[in-house]
A and B are shown apart, each in its own frame.
Chain A
Amino acid sequence: MQQFADLITRMDATNSTNEKVQALTDYFAVAPESDKVWTIALLSHRRPRRSLRTNELRTWAAQEAGVPDWLFEESYHIVGDLSEAISLIVPGNKQGNSGTLTEHIELVKALKGLSEEERRARVTGKWRELDRTGRFIFNKLITGGFRIGVSQKLMVRALSRHTGVPEDQLAHQLMGDWDPATIPFHDLVHVEESAAAASRPYPFCLAHALDMPPADLGDPADWMAEHKWDGIRGQLIVRGGELYLWTRGEELVTDKYPELHVLRDALPDGTVLDGELLPWRDDHPLPFQVLQTRIGRTSVSARALKEAPVVFVAYDLLEQDGADQRERPMQERRKALEAIVEQAKQNRLRLSPEVRFATWEDLAEERERSREMHSEGIMLKRRESVYRVGRKRGDWWKWKVDPLSIDGVLLYAQRGHGRRADLFTDFTFAVWKGEELVPFAKAYSGLTDEEMRKVDAYVKQHTKEKFGPVRSVTPMHVFEIGFEGIGRSPRHKSGVALRFPRILRWRTDKDIRDANTLEDLQELLHAHGQGAR
């Protein structure tokens, strides 16, 4: 655990990518085998299942610290991270941590099934035994969500340096279904024909946001365009007579979408498709909200299957007859994909239609229709390109449609998390309904650090009331709020729900009287509302 704690400290202590990779490489050189496997697992979002409720942790921490619950809650909001708040508030000034990372993970896993008293004794015992960094890590193991500012890509780079296995091969090797509790390190990184191989997906090729005029991409004839679907990116695998469905977050979701199981027999063995899971009715996709009702569920009701049936909209072919196709040019893969979809003759499997365009102006026009099509914009793929591992510039671009926007008045604020800790940066915005301000969106991202500090100071000086962690402020400031989509929602006071709301600009030039109205919002709902067609 001390080695892992040192790793976390070292990564925290630098903003340089190189140094982070070096820290990880050094760690791999000295850490025990099983700790290495767990580190890879944690940094690729495979964590032990949550074994207790965070409420218990809060209560125990407050009691250990000898403070009332309200003060613990306030402290937590100030720190902006539960694991960290506990690590700081629990007394104890030990230095150093004994035991391995694996032992601590085993302890966390074993909490499940114990009585509350037992759980408490083990957790608080560990708090007393570990130092602050150790406590922080231990709490993160319990609560999950290990974000330490290092991407999976950097982890793979370090592992590649450590093992000598090329990065792309490692990235593939680490995909899919493996159990960090049982797999030996050697097998994980070296043995391609492991038990997990049958279900193993390929690393997804990811697009960069287009940050230049499309004309800079050159000849339109070199590019293929399609709509950027607003669903769940997935990989559909048929191997050894079985079907596997993976999401981009490397979650195996085969069981969640039984309507796709017919594809097992409809597709030739040894086929892997890249595409999008989309709710579909008649001949068009349904809004993402519809799919949302399916995401969290493990079992699917007949009603859900009827209301939000899902199709797989395929846009790439990664494996055919058991052979990796990724090195073939995109247009060849596309031809083969078209043939496969054609042959399958299944309405659960569709081809993502190609958007034909002769000039960039044509494409710009088609992009303007994206919202109508329930798409987020246009995807551009170079016809000659291979299917790459991860996000690499040059061959795949996403050209998203400009967001919708509304000017709202800042009405409530709450302290932020992570690097916004102890700053009032989580906001609720409102529009006018006659003389009343009605909340319509929550947003936090989009401000510069300088602006965040200013708004924080304003909130502190102009707090009207406090409701737990939330403060209401004297309405004074207008912000332009951007969002990708708008839908009807009876659950919200404004009657609308926004998709991906964020702050586009602080409109210091505007008075609160100049902010938009609920009618303006309703007009947008009418014009662009999901399901409006």
Chain B
Amino acid sequence: MDMPLITFTDRGMHCAAADVYIDPWRPVQRAIITHAHSDHARPGMGSYLCHEHSAPLLRHRLGSGIAVEGIPYGERRVINGVTFSLHPAGHVIGSAQVRVEHRGEVWVASGDYKVENDGLTPPFEAVRCNTFITECTFGVPVYIWQPQAVIFEEINAWWRANASEGICTVLSAYSLGKAQRIMANVDTSIGPILTHGAVEGCNAAIREAGIELPETIPLTRETDPALIKGALVIAPGSAVDTPWANKLRPYSSGIASGWMQVRGWRRRSAVDRGFALSDHADWPGLNAAVRASGAERVITTHGYTDLFSRWLNEQGIASHTEKTAFKGEEVLAATDEESTA
């Protein structure tokens, strides 16, 4: 039997025919990166190939000295006879599924993705393939997202109520992706948007990629307290309820994360409000993506992998799990920020 086009090694997903790794977690010569989150884009690679909007983010997070090349969606790259191309994953700005074609066989490594159009990131695009490598962070059927319009209505109402009482609104979210999705979708007529340094750093890299974001004001020691009162502060989870946030008092705190779908998560998060807003696909989204790929085989990499694989097998789609170092969505832990701070 031929060796599979992509194998799972202790360094990461490896396409041996091209000697290229996708989202490797240990140093390799040549890496293709699906997106700039720290569990997918790690330091120490000889070269990085990613979407053109991801390139400034990679430089921002991994250092300006890295060898990185950005290409647009759909552009084909042939390496050792293997054809690679990137396709929108809808996860965060610059996120891509990696399509790998060799001798008529097609694999897609989807990285992280969501199928709902968030209005900022180019929406997920189904790519036909034989083998689909998928995350399943929210791969159980209790995770069915409300349309984002409903969630943003809730966030706006909360912000508005806080602003009218003269208190600050602090929403914690991933610095890359969720933070920008929030600023692009909230009602900016309510008040100013202030940002934590980690968020503003990503903003700058995204603006550098030529993408427009609403006006944000970096929060510093000098920020006028009067401005803070009615503002929406967007910060990584690791900053909320630390001395950093003292300046913002009195404030109401919230978290935007898919985990907030479940009451138990909301209750132990010890914030005032939890909003179930995720950049990962929900249960219907995962199933739709698998079906649209037309894949006869699905490899699950992180999340509720064993459950989702078992479900797919029962649906007649051969599926198994491969162990990886990907983390999916984390609440509060916010390793993303800590590892790059």
Residues of A at the B interface (CB closer than 8 Å) are 12-15, 65, 67-68, 70-72, 74-75, 78-81, 84-85, 88-89, 91, 93, 95, 149, 416-422, 449
Asked if B141 contacts A65 (CB within 8 A), the reply is yes
* Interface pick from B91-99, B112-120, B262-270: B262-270
Nearest CB on A from B322, distance (A): 16
Question: Which residues of chain B from 283 to 335 have any CB-CB distance to chain A below 8 Å in the complex?
Answer: 304, 307, 310-311, 314
Which B residues lie at the A interface, using CB under 8 A?
Answer: 140-144, 146-147, 150, 259, 261-268, 270, 272-273, 304, 307, 310-311, 314
CB contact between B263 and one of A67, A81, A91, A416 (< 8 Å): that residue: A81
By beta carbon, the residue of chain B nearest A417 is B264
Query: Which A residues lie within 8 Å of B272 (CB)?
Result: 13-15
Report if A67-B141 is in contact (Cβ < 8 Å); known contacts: A80-B264, A84-B262, A419-B267.
yes
CA distance A85 to B143 in the complex (A): 10
Known: A14-B272, A15-B270. A89 touches B264 (CB 8 A): no
Quote the shortest CB–CB distance from A150 to chain B (angstroms): 13
Residues on the B chain within 8 Å of A14, using CB: 272
Determine whether the beta carbon of A93 is less than 8 Å from that of B314. Answer: no
Are A421 and B265 in contact, with the CB atoms below 8 A?
Answer: yes
Contact for B314 among A13, A68, A88, A95, CB less than 8 A: A68
**24 A-B residue pairs with CB within 8 Å:** A12-B267, A14-B272, A15-B270, A15-B272, A65-B141, A71-B141, A71-B307, A71-B311, A75-B141, A79-B262, A80-B262, A88-B142, A88-B262, A89-B141, A89-B144, A417-B264, A418-B263, A419-B264, A419-B267, A421-B264, A422-B259, A422-B262, A422-B264, A449-B268
Pair A420/B262 contact, Cβ less than 8 Å:
no
18 more contacts with CB within 8 A, not counting A88-B261, A449-B268, are: A14-B272, A15-B270, A68-B314, A70-B310, A71-B311, A75-B141, A81-B263, A91-B144, A93-B146, A93-B150, A95-B150, A418-B264, A419-B268, A420-B264, A420-B268, A421-B264, A421-B265, A422-B264
Chain A residues near B261: list those with CB within 8 A. Answer: 88
**Is the beta-carbon distance between A75 and B270 smaller than 8 angstroms?**
no
B273 to A74, Cβ gap below 8 A?
no
| Smallest Cβ-Cβ distance to A85: which chain B residue | B142
Chain B CB count within 10 A is highest, among A14, A75, A81, A420, for A75
**A72 to B283 CA separation, bound complex (whole angstroms):** 13
Contact assessment for A71 and B140 in the assembled complex, using a CB-CB cutoff below 8 Å: yes
Residues of A within 8 A of B259 (CB): 422
Residues of B within 8 A of A420 (CB): 264, 268
Which of the residues A88, A95, A449 comes within 8 Å of B144, measured between beta carbons? A88
Which residues on B sit within 8 Å (CB–CB) of A84? 262-263
B306 to chain A: closest CB distance in Å? 8
Q: How far is the CA of A528 from the CA of B312 in the complex (A)?
A: 54
Q: Is A89's CB under 8 angstroms from B142's CB?
A: yes
The reply to whether B307 and A74 form a contact with Cβ atoms under 8 Å apart is yes
Chain A residue at minimal CB-CB distance from B145? A93
User: Within 8 Å CB of B143, what residues of A?
Assistant: 88
Q: How far is the CA of A93 from the CA of B148 in the complex (A)?
A: 12
By beta carbon, the residue of chain B nearest A449 is B268
Neighbouring B residues of A93 by C-beta, 8 Å: 144, 146-147, 150
Residues of B within 8 A of A67 (CB): 141, 311
Which residues of B have CB within 8 Å of A85?
142
Chain B residue nearest to A65 in the complex (CB): B141
Tell me which residues across on chain B come within 8 A of A12, comparing CB atoms: 263, 266-267
Whose C-beta in chain A lies nearest to the C-beta of B273? Answer: A13
Contacts of A13 in B (CB 8 A): 272-273
Instruction: Give the distance to chain A from B330, nearest Cβ to Cβ, in Å.
Output: 10
In the complex, what's the smallest C-beta–C-beta distance from A455 to chain B, in angstroms?
Answer: 14
Complex-state Cα separation, A71 to B287, whole angstroms: 14
Q: Whole-angstrom distance between the alpha carbons of A416 and B262 in the complex? A: 13
- Minimal beta-carbon separation of B259 from chain A (angstroms): 8
On chain B, the residues within 8 Å of A416 by CB distance are: 264
Q: Are A79 and B264 touching (Cβ within 8 A)?
A: yes
**Chain B residues with CB below 8 A from A80, complex form:** 262, 264
A78:B150 contact, CB within 8 angstroms: no
Across the two chains, which residue of chain B brings its CB closest to A87?
A: B142
Which residues from B are CB-within-8-Å of A449? 268
Question: For residue A72, which residues in chain B have a CB less than 8 angstroms away from its CB?
Answer: 141
